[in-house]
Structure 1
């Protein structure tokens, strides 16, 4: 991780994507800070000249090898982590989208030590990020509204 992501001078803009396939959502288990060893949505930083949707789709492909299409915007998530001295160590603002699976099974990647497709019940048994359950509740509603079986 580069120094610019640790103790940043400003919040970092990122995008994530909840992709649905066969009544399941794709999650990746992080092995780098912040939120290491927890399952969450694949995502990452937005690059200059890239839209939020483009970033979400690119990160999904780069991190886990899955091609998808955007169904809609879900909501934003803020991840703020402080050190023992209460100084901000990580600060991300994440635009989270909902998508439908197009191709790819999901593979481990540069930041993911595990990739799983889970249904709503399986989600309850995983170590997930704090923001994930309410985020996915809303994502399931959006996917169902677009006719994607969830």
Structure 2
């Protein structure tokens, strides 16, 4: 997903929790960061709110629907070439949600999906900062009465 823009790309993601306390991760199927586990998400479309984008991307990428329960944090991803020039710059608004419907399925953008313990996701190769985002999301989910 190389960007030719001269500005950062705005994106949204969502940490979706089921009643058992597990959170949904998706393995990225396309660059940048292909083959790494992350939260479902993607670019915000013109006229769409950050929250709307998070929920739309969740449905499109993995076939799951959720109810938003809060905002988690923002994440920045900046990729540079060997000379230090910016190749891609994303600013991602990360939300927290409660699973409502749908069974998570891989698709063109998500090569695999997995429900994991947010405090112990195992030895998955994850995007930078994801363990911290998962822990924070779990705290927000607990305050929203998601076990």
TM-score surpassing 0.5?
Answer: yes
Calculate the aligned-residue CA RMSD, in Å.
1.2
In the alignment, what sits opposite 2:14? Answer: 17
Matches within 5 A, 1:1-150: 1=1, 5-21=2-18, 22-120=20-118, 122-149=120-147
How many Å separate the matches in 2 of 1:8 and 1:33?
A: 16
Unaligned residue ranges in structure 1 (runs of 5+): none
SS of the equivalent of 2:57 reads helix
Deviations 1:94-145 (A, max 9, x none): 0000000001110011211100011136513211111101111110000000
Aligned residues: 146
**Mapped partners of 1:123, 1:129: distance in 2:** 13
Q: Which runs of 5+ in 2 are unaligned?
A: none
1:35 shift after superposition: 1.1
Distance 2:99 2:126 in 1: 21
Give the conservation status (yes or no) of the 8 Å contact 1:7–1:88.
no
Secondary structure in structure 2 of the residue aligned to 1:44: strand
- Does the CA contact (< 8 Å) of 1:8 and 1:89 recur in 2? no
